[in-house]
């Protein structure tokens, strides 16, 4: 049984990712990732195709695109964590999330396919973080011009997801559940 992965110290992250770390309000990263997974699976399984394709404004992503974005970002954050844990000091570049979203063709996919992929990605992320030692979690590296610890990247992953879940609830589902006039 692995020890809980507690909240990162402020010196373990910098810049805009601090907002994501702050949203990952959990005493244990693995429990937080698991709880978020369970919540998302329950929320999305009950949505209609119309709701999954809804965009709350022109140029905004659909819920399917948001989900694929979350998986893309989680994979990138996990890759960065792996590189840093293995003490690779190569500075890692950022990525263009909008280009990724357009290229994903998420809206053409079946939700069951997206959820199956989400399950695989989340399982891999959890197992990766469970494999890290205390020393691994404190290793740092630079990505997108920011210095971060492995532990902070785990909390960025969770906080980024929490951020997008709030947007889905407030801007997508609240609008799609309003009565027609």
pLDDT in tens, 30-59: 999 999 999 999 999 889 999 999 999 999
In percent, how much of the chain has pLDDT > 70? 95
Please spell the DSSP secondary structure of 56-114, one letter per residue: SSTTPPPHHHHHHHHHHHHHHHHHHHHHHHTT--PPBP---HHHHHHHH-GGGS-HHHH
pLDDT at 177 over 60: no
pTM of the full structure: 0.93
Beta-bridge partner residues of 146:
143
Residues 86-111, mean pLDDT to the nearest whole number: 94
Distance between CA 60 and CA 111 in Å, rounded? Answer: 19
Q: Average pLDDT of 111-127?
A: 98
- Which pLDDT belongs to residue 146? 96
Mean pLDDT of 129-147: 97
In this prediction, residue 175 carries a pLDDT of 62
């Amino acid at each position: 049984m692995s020890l809980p992965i507690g909240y990162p110290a402020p010196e373990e992250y910098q810049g805009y990712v601090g907002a994501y770390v702050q949203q990952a309000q959990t005493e244990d990263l693995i429990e937080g990732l698991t709880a978020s997974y369970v919540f998302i699976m329950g929320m999305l399984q009950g949505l209609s195709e119309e709701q999954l394709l809804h965009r709350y404004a022109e140029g905004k992503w659909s819920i399917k695109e948001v989900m694929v974005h979350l998986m893309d970002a989680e994979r990138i954050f996990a890759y960065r964590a792996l590189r840093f844990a293995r003490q690779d000091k190569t500075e890692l570049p950022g990525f263009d999330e909008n280009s990724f979203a357009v290229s994903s063709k998420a809206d053409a996919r079946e939700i069951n396919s997206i959820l199956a992929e989400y399950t695989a990605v989340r399982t891999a992320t959890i197992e990766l973080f469970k494999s890290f030692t205390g020393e691994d979690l404190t290793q740092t590296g630079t990505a997108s011009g920011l210095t971060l610890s492995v532990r902070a990247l785990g909390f960025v992953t969770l906080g980024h997801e929490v951020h997008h879940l709030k947007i889905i609830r407030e801007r997508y589902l609240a609008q799609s559940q309003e009565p027609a006039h």
